[in-house]
Every structure is written in C-alpha cells, then in structure tokens.
A and B are shown apart, each in its own frame.
Chain A
Amino acid sequence: DAGVTQSPTHLIKTRGQQVTLRCSPKSGHDTVSWYQQALGQGPQFIFQYYEEEERQRGNFPDRFSGHQFPNYSSELNVNALLLGDSALYLCASSLLRSYEQYFGPGTRLTVT
C-alpha cells in the first residue's frame, strides 16, 4: 500500500487561473480531508469528503471546491487563483469515525 498519494507534486499557475489537485486515499479509507499549509504555518483545514459529499468546511471562500469519487479518491479545485493561494496542499485520509489521519506528501502550488 503506497499510502496516500497526491498529484502533481509541484504546480506553477498564474493569477486568475484555475487548478485541480488530486488525491488517492490509503487503501480501506473512506474519508478525505484537504488542508492548506502556508509557509511557516501549520496545516489549515479546507474541507472533508465522505460518501461523495462535503461533510465539513473550513473558513475558505467558495473559490475552493472539491469532489469525491466512488473509489474514494478526491479532487480539490481552486478558481480565480490569488497570490495568497500559494501553499502546500495536503490531503489526508481516514476512516470516518477514526481520529487518526494519514497524510499525503502534498502538492506545492505556486501562483505568480
């Protein structure tokens, strides 16, 4: 089991563009959470998906949206990119009732 995988590893976008990040959860996990980690900060919760629905959402604008597929993989979409969206985006998977989350390696997004 490769654990949680994310793609791409790095991404450079221009202000105003749109981006899609992908995540495959650890085998057997049904819940995916997304976090944004700005430089020098701890991860900040964006949203969580379970059974293809958004269950919880953090304080992020509607420009951030997501999706979960029947195979539990997930996408994070960000529209109208701002310079401030530059960060490491982490995906974490878990079982719904479990406290323990397994993190992926992250996608480094740079907005120029």
Chain B
Amino acid sequence: AQRVTQPEKLLSVFKGAPVELKCNYSYSGSPELFWYVQYSRQRLQLLLRHISRESIKGFTADLNKGETSFHLKKPFAQEEDSAMYYCARHCYGGSQGNLIFGKGTKLSVKP
C-alpha cells in the first residue's frame, strides 16, 4: 500500500524561527504531492502542490525523489501559521482513492 508518513505529531517553534514539517512517501512512479492545512475551526484546505512550484503564505515544498520526501518549509514562522498540516499524495486508481493523507503535524508558533 502506498503511504505518506509525517513523523512529527507536534512541532513547536517561536515566532520568527524557521520551520520544517517533514513528509515522506512510499515510492511509486511520479507522485503528485500536496500539503493541506487546517486552521482552528476551519475546514481542510489546499496549501500548495508540488507541480505548481509556488510559494503560498511564505511556505515552499520541494520534492526530493531520491529521499522520497516533500518537506514543507518556511524561513520565518508567524503565529497565524499555527494549524494542523497534512501531507497528501494523489493515487491513481486502486482502493486507496484519490488522496492518501499522512496523520498530520500540529504546528504551534509561540510569540
């Protein structure tokens, strides 16, 4: 089965510090990878996807096929970045559906 692993359940940093949320995926061809975010009392929403190579809210994520990783990074964390972050990959067909999610990492940015 294809997997997405987020090794950290909780990541706590101070405002202005760099942040990196880790994501590893099981290898299978050319994956389509995403980061979703869920702010407190809000719905799950797409933050960014690797294919667009864009920066959203200062976050970037680079696909490293050699390490099968797709870590989310931001050079200077802000308090409003505090949220649950889920890494996900698109899966073609099979019983796992369109999106396979990791278990999520809760980011807490302290003032």
Task: List chain A positions with a Cβ less than 8 A from chain B.
Answer: 3-4, 33, 35, 40-48, 56-59, 90, 92, 94, 99-106
What is the minimal beta-carbon distance from A21 to any residue of chain B, in angstroms?
15
Q: Which residue of A lies closest to B103 (CB)?
A: A42
Q: Is the beta-carbon distance between B44 and A45 smaller than 8 angstroms?
A: no
Q: Which residue of B lies closest to A57 (CB)?
A: B95
Q: Is the beta-carbon distance between B32 and A99 smaller than 8 angstroms?
A: yes
Q: Is the beta-carbon distance between A100 and B104 smaller than 8 angstroms?
A: no
Count of A-B residue pairs with CB < 8 Å: 66
Q: Which of B58-111 contact A (CB under 8 A)?
A: 86, 88, 90, 93-104
Which residue of A40, A58, A104 contacts B97 across the interface (Cβ within 8 Å)? A58
Task: List chain B positions with a Cβ less than 8 A from chain A.
Answer: 4, 9, 32, 34, 36, 43-46, 49, 51, 86, 88, 90, 93-104
Which residue of A47, A57, A101, A105 contacts B99 across the interface (Cβ within 8 Å)? A101
Chain A residues with Cβ below 8 Å from B34 are 99
Chain A residues with Cβ below 8 Å from B49 are 99-100
18 contacts between A and B (CB under 8 A): A33-B97, A40-B9, A41-B104, A42-B86, A43-B99, A44-B101, A45-B97, A45-B98, A47-B97, A90-B44, A92-B99, A94-B98, A99-B51, A100-B46, A100-B49, A101-B99, A103-B43, A103-B45
Which residue of A42, A56, A90, A103 contacts B98 across the interface (Cβ within 8 Å)? A56
